[in-house]
Structure formats: C-alpha cells, structure tokens
C-alpha cells in the first residue's frame, strides 16, 4: 500500500543562511553572517578551510582568488598572511548594484571569531571542506566545538551540525563524538536528469547522520518523501527563488540553504 504523505511542519523548517546572507553581502564575512541573523536565519552556514599554521578559517574555496585579493592555496599561507587580505571588495566589483563601502577591506574570519561574535546559543551549520587536504581537521573542529560549548548532552542539544561531501570525514566525526549531528552532502552532476535515492543508501546514511543535503534542481517529491520515510532530515541547497522554496516545502523538505534568508523567512511566515 502507498504510505501516507509526510508533511512539513513549517514552524520547524530550518532557514540556513548559506555562507551568511551571501546574496546581499560578501560570503563568509562577519557582515554577511550578521545580515543572515538580522533576516531571521536559524543557522549560520560556515565552510571551513585550514591555514598553513593549522587555523580553521571561513572560506568556501581551497584557493584565494575568487573571494579575496590573494592568490594560491589557503593551505600555503599562515593565518597572519590570510588576515591581510581583503575579502569584501570582490563583491563590489562583481555586484555593482549591491556594492557598499563597508564591504571594502573586510577580512576572512577564523572559526573562533565567528563563534565568539555570535555566541554559543546561536546555531551553526559547519562544513568540513576538502578534508583530505587538511589532515586533523575533524579533531581540531571537534575540540573547538567543545571549547565553545556547542556540543550538548545529545545530538538534539547540540548547537552545531557538521556537514560534508566526504563520508570519511563524517564517519570520523561520528567515531570521535556521537553527540554532534551530522549531515551527508550529495551532489547530482546531471541536473537535467531526475535524481533518485535508494533505501540502501538511506539506511547507510542513517548509520552516522541525521539527514542529507543535495542540489535541489534534480530532485522531486518522490525523492523528498523517500528521505522522510527513513526519518532523516532533508536540507537541499542552494535555494534562492521563492517559487522553488514553496515547491520544496510542499514536497516536505525540513530545511534549506539559501543566500536569501529574507526570502525564505517571508515564505515561511506566509505558510
Ligand atoms: O553545504 C551545502 C552547500 O553549501 C554545498 O555546496 O559548494 O556551496 O559548499 P557549497
Ligand atoms: Ca557549504
């Protein structure tokens, strides 16, 4: 028999500020994170890279070119060197209609600085990026999560979710500490083809995660419902248009990553 549709409780849907409110301000800067907070985002999404001297910094790319005035690999520079870079001017050049003087000279924040600024009662959705390039990244992150009081007595009481495309990185986190909620990221290369997910895959993810996140374009209602039947969270990325947000909510997603948390907030308020 066909099982009953699993509906979304709109009041529980997670509004995840992707790289901060990065549709409005330069991604992964304190200003972009603050804007995400002001726009009622529930979680601040942080991508992590590691410097030559082992500091965790908030940057999406392994390289510096796209979002700073530096060049080369993050791992080849010390934190002091990274701190000299301008992480905001690129945004003004790329989006002149959204440019602001205050973005000039913004710096790359360390993980510690982000948590110190927004506090342990806030919520963070942290991605271990390129963990194979940064041995020891998981241990370092876990140590910091504990230091900042972001790990609770169980998964529900923890204020940080750790996400990764790397199952190895997540399994390592799972081995190190069972109280950190984990999300497996997935990427479907051919977005013109409908994505499917099997019970076997979902059972495998369920062993170490609370849910999955994937590019939203190739998924459909069947996909979303399948994930929910396994009692897993489903947080598609990166959803920027209101029509897509509405559609995904109707299908039953439990949260989404967006560069425009203000838009998702409006949809959630209307629902
Ligand atoms: O973490 C969810 C989503 O952000 C994954 O893609 O490349 O934006 O980190 P990316
Ligand atoms: Ca990410």
Q: How much of the chain, in percent, has pLDDT values that exceed 70?
A: 99
pLDDT digits (tens, 9 = 90+) for 238-264: 999 999 999 999 999 999 999 999 999
pLDDT digits (tens, 9 = 90+) for 20-55: 999 999 999 999 999 999 999 999 999 999 999 999
**236 Cβ closer than 6 Å to some ligand 1 atom:** no
Residue 1 has pLDDT above 60, yes or no: no
Q: Residue 41 Cα, ligand 2 centroid: separation in angstroms?
A: 15
In angstroms, rounded to a whole number, what is the distance separating the alpha carbons of residues 43 and 16? 5
Q: Where are the beta strands (DSSP E) in the chain?
A: 14-17, 43-50, 56-58, 124-128, 160-164, 182-186, 211-214, 233-234, 255-258
CB of 149 within 8 A of CB of 121?
A: no
Q: Residue 89 Cα, ligand 1 centroid: separation in angstroms?
A: 22
pLDDT digits (tens, 9 = 90+) for 114-155: 999 999 999 999 999 999 999 999 999 999 999 999 999 999
As residues whose CB is below 5 A from the ion ligand 2, the structure lists 47, 127
Q: Residue 185 Cα, ligand 2 centroid: separation in angstroms?
A: 9
**144 Cβ closer than 6 Å to some ligand 1 atom:** no
**148 Cβ closer than 6 Å to some ligand 1 atom:** no
**What are 148-151's contacts with CB under 8 Å, separation 24+?**
148/112, 148/115, 148/116, 148/120, 149/120, 150/115, 150/120, 150/124, 151/177, 151/179, 151/180
pLDDT digits (tens, 9 = 90+) for 11-22: 999 999 999 999
- 3-state secondary structure at position 48: strand
Atom of ligand 1 nearest to the CA of 257: 2
CB count, 10 Å around CB of 264?
29
């Amino acid at each position: 028999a066909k099982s009953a549709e699993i509906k979304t409780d709109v009041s529980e849907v997670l509004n995840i500020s992707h790289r901060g409110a990065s549709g409005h301000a330069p991604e992964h800067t304190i200003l972009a994170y603050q804007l995400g907070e002001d726009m009622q985002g529930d979680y601040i999404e942080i991508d992590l890279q590691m410097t030559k001297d082992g500091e965790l910094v908030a940057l999406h790319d392994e390289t510096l070119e796209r979002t700073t005035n530096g060049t080369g690999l993050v791992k080849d520079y010390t934190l002091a060197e990274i701190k000299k870079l301008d992480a905001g001017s690129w945004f003004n050049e790329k989006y002149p209609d959204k440019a602001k003087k205050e973005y000039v000279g913004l710096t790359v924040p360390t993980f510690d600085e982000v948590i110190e600024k927004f506090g342990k009662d806030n919520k963070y959705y942290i991605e271990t990026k390129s963990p194979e390039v940064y041995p020891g990244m998981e241990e370092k992150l876990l140590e910091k999560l504990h230091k900042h009081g972001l790990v609770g007595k169980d998964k529900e009481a923890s204020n940080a979710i750790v996400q990764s495309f790397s199952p190895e990185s997540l399994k390592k986190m799972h081995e190190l500490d069972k109280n950190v909620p984990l999300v497996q990221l997935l990427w479907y290369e051919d977005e013109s083809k409908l994505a499917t997910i099997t019970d076997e895959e979902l059972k495998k993810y369920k062993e170490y995660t609370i849910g999955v996140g994937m590019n939203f374009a190739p998924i459909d209602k069947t996909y979303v419902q399948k994930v929910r039947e396994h009692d897993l969270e489903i947080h598609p990325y990166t959803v920027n248009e209101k029509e897509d947000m509405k559609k995904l909510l109707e299908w039953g997603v439990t949260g989404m990553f967006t560069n425009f948390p203000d838009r998702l907030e409006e949809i959630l308020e209307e629902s």
